[in-house]
Structure 1
Amino acid sequence: MKKKILIVDDDPRNIFALKLTLKARGYQIITATMGQEAIDLLKNDEEIKVLLIDMMMPDMDGYETMKIIRETSSIKETTVIAVTAQAMPEDREKCLEAGADDYITKPIDLDQLLIAIEKF
């Protein structure tokens, strides 16, 4: 059984494209559109191994969401991959400092994403 992945993005088109692609590769996919929803899903489903999170979301952004995940003992070990349109070197550092295990820029390079998912 392949890893269960939670995709968090406020844009349904991004979720649709990622979900379709990853499901075709055999992953189980769950989706959320807000940070708090993602935290709740992680707390209630121990099978989720990887979180793909958009950094720029309304309400609670990816940085704030990652901070809460890393401070919550039951979910802090979840692999978090930041997904963002922000592609400057300092953006990568900011994501990693906020608690991301890896960082992928949009538009997403599928090979790079699959490597990141399988690395952890």
Structure 2
Amino acid sequence: MNRILIIDDDARNIYALQAVLKAKGFTSLCAASVKEGIATLQQHPEVQVILLDMMMPETDGYEAIQLLRHLPGRANLPIIAVTAQAMVGDREKCLAAGASAYVSKPIDMDLLLGQLKNYLSV
């Protein structure tokens, strides 16, 4: 099963991503905060990829990547940074922080699905 964890504080983003992913045959879980995302990940070891919003209150995506990477057995879990920050250097900053890949908002779903295929057995 191709299970994806979406960590995003905006319910509209979660809804839109879940709808597209479901239509493409993916199963997704969602979390509205990094803390909730970590708890969800610990409860669901079958998660294979994380879609992480980089601009969240409390814990931003850069700090979240470090927290997620330090979870036991999760150091190599693919994390796709999803962000509205699309300025020169933002992609590199996300990758340098430990993201596996980067997608800017508004999300090009073909690009995202292509990246997911790199990490999942589809």
Distance 1:16 1:111 in 2: 17
2:106 alignment partner in structure 1: 107
Q: Does 1:87 align with 2:86?
A: yes
Distance 1:82 1:21 in 2: 17
1:119 alignment partner in structure 2: 118
Moved over 3 A (4+): none
CA offsets 1:6-46 (integer angstroms, 9 cap, x no match): 01111100000000000111111100010111112112211
Determine if contact 1:5/1:27 at 8 Å carries over to the other structure. yes
Instruction: Tell me the percent identity.
Output: 49
Tell me how large the CA RMSD over aligned residues is. 1.0
Deviation at 1:71, TM superposition (A): 2.1
Distance 1:8 1:77 in 2: 17
2:53 alignment partner in structure 1: 54
2:63 alignment partner in structure 1: 64
Matches within 5 A, 1:12-51: 12-51=11-50
Q: What is the letter of the counterpart of residue 93 of structure 1?
A: E
**Across the two proteins, how many residue pairs are aligned to each other?**
119
Determine if contact 1:56/1:62 at 8 Å carries over to the other structure. yes
Determine if contact 1:43/1:75 at 8 Å carries over to the other structure. no
Distance 2:102 2:6 in 1: 14
Q: TM-score if structure 1 supplies the norm length?
A: 0.94
Distance 2:34 2:88 in 1: 24
Gap regions ≥5 residues in structure 1: none
Gap regions ≥5 residues in structure 2: none
Determine if contact 1:53/1:82 at 8 Å carries over to the other structure. yes
Distance 2:44 2:53 in 1: 20
2:76 alignment partner in structure 1: 77
Deviation at 1:73, TM superposition (A): 2.9
